[in-house]
Chain A
Amino acid sequence: MEATLKIEELKTFFQTREGVAKAVNGVSLGIEPGMILGVVGESGCGKSVTAFSVLRLVPHPGRIVSGRVLFQGRDLLRLPEKEMRRIRGDRISMIFQEPMISLNPAFTVGDQLTEALRLHRRIGRAEARAKVIGMLRQVEIPAPEKRIDDYPHHLSGGMRQRAMIAEALLLNPDLLLADEPTTALDVTIQAQVVEIMCRLARERGTAIMFITHNLGLVAESADRVAVMYAGKIVEEGGVRDIFENARHPYTRGLMRSLPLPGRRSDGRSHKLYEMPGVVPSLFDLPPGCAFHPRCPEREAGCHRSEPPWRRIGPGHRVSCWKEGGDGTPAQG
Chain B
Amino acid sequence: MIRYLLRRLGYLIPTLALVALMVFFLTHLIPGDPAVVMMGPDATQEDLDSARQTLGLDQPLWRQFGLWMGSLLQGDFGVSIHTHRPVFQSIKERFPVTITLTTLSLLLSLLFSLPAGVLAAAYHNTKKDYLFMLGTILGVSVPGFWLGLMALLVFSVHLGLIPSTGFVPLWIDFWEGLRFMILPSLTLGVYMAAVVARMTRSSMLEVLRLEYVTHARAKGLGEWKVMTKHALKNAFAPTLTTIGLQYGMLLGGAVVTETVFSLPGLGKYLVTSIYMRDYPVVQGCILFIALVYVLINMVVDLLYSYFDPRIEHA
Hey, which bits of chain A sit against chain B, CB under 8 A? 52, 55, 57, 59, 85-90, 93-94, 96-98, 101-107, 115-116, 119-120, 151, 153, 167
Contacts and interface: CB of A to CB of B under 8 A. Distances in A.
Given A105-B234, A105-B310, A153-B313, A89 B210 contact: no
Contacts of B313: 153
Given A96-B211, A98-B211, A105 B309 contact: yes
A120 to B, nearest CB: 6
Nearest to B236: A106
A87 B220 contact: yes
Nearest to B209: A59
B159 interface: no
A212 to B, nearest CB: 17
Contacts of A94: 215, 218
B219 A119 contact: yes
Interface string B217-247: 1111110000000100110000000000000
Interface in B278-314: 307-310, 313
A89 B220 contact: yes
Nearest to B216: A104
Contacts of B130: none
Question: Chain B at the A interface: mostly helix, strand, loop or mixed?
Answer: helix
17 contacts: A57-B214, A86-B220, A89-B221, A96-B211, A98-B211, A102-B215, A103-B212, A103-B215, A104-B212, A104-B216, A104-B230, A105-B308, A105-B309, A106-B233, A115-B219, A116-B219, A119-B220
Interface of B: 210-212, 214-222, 230, 233-234, 307-310, 313
B212 A88 contact: no
Given A101-B211, A106-B309, 14 more contacts: A57-B217, A85-B222, A88-B217, A101-B212, A103-B212, A104-B230, A105-B309, A106-B230, A106-B233, A106-B307, A107-B233, A115-B221, A120-B220, A153-B313
Residue among B212, B222, B310 having the largest count of chain A Cβ atoms under 10 Å: B212
Contacts of A105: 212, 234, 308-310
B219 to A, nearest CB: 4
A87 B220 CA distance: 7
Contacts of B218: 55, 57, 88-89, 93-94
Most chain B beta-carbon contacts within 10 A, residue among A87, A105, A106: A106
A249 B309 CA distance: 50
A90 B230 CA distance: 19
A90 B220 CA distance: 8
A96 B310 contact: no
Q: Pick the most buried of A85, A102, A104: most chain B CB atoms within 10 A of its CB.
A: A104
Contacts of A97: 211
